[in-house]
Structure 1
Amino acid sequence: MPFANIKVPQAALSKAQKEEIVHRVTNMFVDYLSEAARPHTMVLIEEVPDGGYGRADEIFVIPEPYRAKE
């Protein structure tokens, strides 16, 4: 079973954007593995809360302009 785990900042993507990512990633697996992979493909989009990730000793908080507008 193909499995993709995508982590994004909380509130960065709208529901429609998440649906599009699931569709595109599923299609990518089908392109590589054949149509037989479609019903077995799992795409997990995890939202990481503000302050739950960082780089180079800096904790990230997503700026308001980058938050998804539902």
Structure 2
Amino acid sequence: MPFANFKTPAGALTKTQKAEIVHRTTEMFAEYFGEGVRPYTMVLIEEVKDGGYGRADEVYEIPADYRAKG
């Protein structure tokens, strides 16, 4: 079973954007491995809340300008 795991800041993506990620990832796996994998493809989008991750030795919080709108 093909499996993709995306981690993104909480609130950064809309429902529509998440659906697009699921669709496009499933399409990509089907292109590479054949249509037989489509029903078994798992795409997980995990939202990490502010302060739950870091970069360059600093705890990160998503700026308001980068939050999903809509």
TM-score class, shorter: over 0.9
Residues 30-61 of structure 1 show CA distances to partners (whole Å, capped at 9, x for unaligned) of 01000001000000000000000111211110
Partner of 2:4: 4
Q: Which runs of 5+ in 1 are unaligned?
A: none
Structure 2 CA distance for aligned equivalents of residues 21 and 69 of structure 1: 17
Q: Secondary structure of the residue that 1:43 maps to in structure 2?
A: strand
Partner of 1:38: 38
Q: Secondary structure of the residue that 1:12 maps to in structure 2?
A: coil
State percent identity of aligned pairs: 67
Q: Which runs of 5+ in 2 are unaligned?
A: none
- How many residues align? The count is 70
